[in-house]
Amino acid sequence: PSRQRHTHGCWDGGNQHSLRTAALHSRSTGAMATATAAKTTISLKGSVEIVSEFFGYSINSILYQRGIYPPETFKRVNKYGLAMLITSDDGLQTYLNSVLAQLTDWLTHGTVQKLVVVIAGQDSGETLERWVFDVQTDQNVGPEGKVEKAEKEIMSEIQAIIRQITASVTFLPLLDEPCTFDLLVYTDNDVQVPKAWEESDPKYIANSDEVRLRSFTTKVHRVDASVTYRADM
């Protein structure tokens, strides 16, 4: 995988087939507006925008719900028919936007296998949680291809996943130490990797439990979500 870490105001690059790097999410709003404009016909570009936007909001939600950043550094916005919280920290926004921009490119070329949000102890470096978003791409849908699915149905599926992330505090162990996070992107082996990214180990959890979350599909991309956490916490 390739990876990217943001550590309470510091960030460094990284890539793994998991890849890791510093990215920028100045809200990724432009891409999202285009994606949600389509009613029933979805192009490859529109699907990529929907998935990339979902990743942006999901990452923000995880960082807020798991207390990786102080609650006062988040602001409330409306998205997917829900009150969402996104970071107002300029450095973190820039980091996430950069990652999402690269993810958008890889999604467009059908080379993304999964995105993983890794939460680790700041001092121990031990992985405490892995939020995994597996991506399946219909390679038969090219740049000019289109599929049909009601936008309302896609938004409803995404809403269900976001609600589960929000409810995660009810079943995940308390994170009782300062934590950092990494973003790992699993790509095809022959993908072009930017210099800002570096290879990373998968950061697995040895003794872990897993909770499967919901999935959504645009009929071009399917995203299956899950969270793995240390079982002995």
What would the DSSP string read from start to end of 26-87? S--HHHHHHHHH-SSEEEHHHHHHHHHHHHHHHHHHHHHHTTSS-GGGEEEEEETTEEEEEE
Q: What is the domain-level CATH number for residue 210?
A: 3.30.900.10
Name the pTM for this structure.
Answer: 0.83
Q: Counting runs of H as helices and runs of E as strands, what totals does the chain give?
A: 4, 13
pLDDT tens, residue by residue, 44-92: 999 999 999 999 999 999 999 999 999 999 999 999 999 999 999 999 9
For the chain, the C-alpha Rg in angstroms (whole number) is 17
pLDDT tens, residue by residue, 217-230: 999 999 999 999 99
Tell me the C-alpha distance between 184 and 199, whole Å. 9
The one-character DSSP state at 206 is S
The count of domains in the chain is: 1
User: Would you give the distance in Å from CA 32 to the centre of its chain?
Assistant: 14
CA-closest candidate to residue 105, choices 184, 42, 187? 187
Domain that includes residue 134, residue range: 2-230
